[in-house]
Structure 1
Amino acid sequence: MNQVRQSPTGILGFPVAPMDQHGKLDEKALEANIQFLIKEGLSSIFIACGSGEFHALSHRDYKSMVEVAVATAKGKVPVYTGVGGNISHALELTELSAELGVDGYLILPPYLIEPEQEGLYQYLNAIIQSTDLNAIVYQRDNCVCSLETLQRLLESPQLVGLKDGLGNMDLNIEMTQTIGKRLEWLNGMPMAEVTMPAYVNLGFRTYSSAISNYIPHISALFFDALLSHNDDLLHELYEHVILPINKIRKQRKGYAVALIKAGMEIVGHPVGTTVRAPIIQVEKDHYDKLAQIIQVAFEKFPKAAKS
Structure 2
Amino acid sequence: MNKIRKAPKGILGFPVAPFTTSNKLDEQALAQNIQFLLDGGLEAIFVACAAAEYPSLSKEEYEAMVEVAVSVTAGKVPVYTGVGGNIQTSLELARISAEKGADGYLILPPYLVTGEQAGLSAYFKAIAESTDLNSIVYQRDNVAFSLSTLEALAEVPQVVGVKDGLGNMELNGLLTQTFGKRFGWLNGMPLAEVTMSAYVPLGFDSYSSAISNYIPHISRKFYNGILSGDQETVNEIYQQVIMPINNIRRQRKGYAVSLIKAGMEIMGMPVGQTVRLPILPVEKEHYAEMQTILENALDRFPKETPILSI
**Contact kept in structure 1, 2:11 and 2:207, CA below 8 Å:** yes
Matches of 2:147 and 2:14, distance apart in 1:
27
Tell me the equivalent position of 2:209: 209
Matches of 1:83 and 1:283, distance apart in 2:
30
**Contact kept in structure 1, 2:121 and 2:153, CA below 8 Å:** yes
Matches of 2:51 and 2:34, distance apart in 1:
13
Q: 1:86 to 1:47 in 2, by over 3 A?
A: same
Structure 1's consecutive aligned runs of 4 or more residues displaced over 4 angstroms after TM superposition are none
Matches of 1:220 and 1:132, distance apart in 2:
32
Letter in 2 for 1:91: L
Unmatched segments (≥5 aa) in structure 1: none
**Contact kept in structure 1, 2:83 and 2:108, CA below 8 Å:** yes
Q: Please, what is the CA RMSD of the aligned residues? A: 0.9
- Listed one character per residue, the Cα deviations across residues 171-206 of structure 1 (whole Å, up to 9, x for unaligned) are 101110010001000000001001001100000110
Q: Please tell me whether residue 78 in structure 1 is matched to residue 78 in structure 2.
A: yes
Cα offset, 1:19, TM superposition:
0.6
SS in 2 for 1:302: coil
Letter in 2 for 1:189: M
Q: Aligned ranges for residues 1-307 of structure 1 at < 5 Å?
A: 3-306=3-306
Matches of 2:2 and 2:302, distance apart in 1:
46
Matches of 2:100 and 2:234, distance apart in 1:
40
Matches of 1:67 and 1:111, distance apart in 2:
26
Matches of 2:234 and 2:118, distance apart in 1:
42
Matches of 2:126 and 2:82, distance apart in 1:
15
Cα offset, 1:169, TM superposition:
0.8
Cα offset, 1:306, TM superposition:
3.0
Letter in 1 for 2:274: T
Matches of 1:185 and 1:147, distance apart in 2:
15
Matches of 1:231 and 1:170, distance apart in 2:
24
- Listed one character per residue, the Cα deviations across residues 116-174 of structure 1 (whole Å, up to 9, x for unaligned) are 10110111110011001000001101222101111111101100000000011111011
Cα offset, 1:2, TM superposition:
5.0
Matches of 1:56 and 1:114, distance apart in 2:
21
Unmatched segments (≥5 aa) in structure 2: none
Q: 1:177 to 1:161 in 2, by over 3 A?
A: same
Letter in 2 for 1:128: A
- Listed one character per residue, the Cα deviations across residues 48-88 of structure 1 (whole Å, up to 9, x for unaligned) are 00101001001110010000000111001110000001000
Same amino acid, percent of matched pairs: 62
> Higher mean Cα deviation, 254-263 or 231-240?
231-240
**Contact kept in structure 1, 2:161 and 2:184, CA below 8 Å:** yes
Letter in 1 for 2:203: G
SS in 2 for 1:110: coil
Matches of 2:225 and 2:143, distance apart in 1:
32
Cα offset, 1:3, TM superposition:
3.7
Matches of 1:187 and 1:105, distance apart in 2:
16
Matches of 2:115 and 2:5, distance apart in 1:
29
Matches of 1:64 and 1:210, distance apart in 2:
22
SS in 2 for 1:138: strand
SS in 1 for 2:109: strand
**Contact kept in structure 1, 2:135 and 2:160, CA below 8 Å:** yes
Cα offset, 1:252, TM superposition:
0.3
Matches of 2:261 and 2:293, distance apart in 1:
15
Matches of 1:123 and 1:139, distance apart in 2:
13
SS in 1 for 2:137: strand
- Listed one character per residue, the Cα deviations across residues 212-240 of structure 1 (whole Å, up to 9, x for unaligned) are 00000110000011111111111111111
Matches of 2:80 and 2:306, distance apart in 1:
27
TM-score, length of structure 2 as denominator length: 0.98
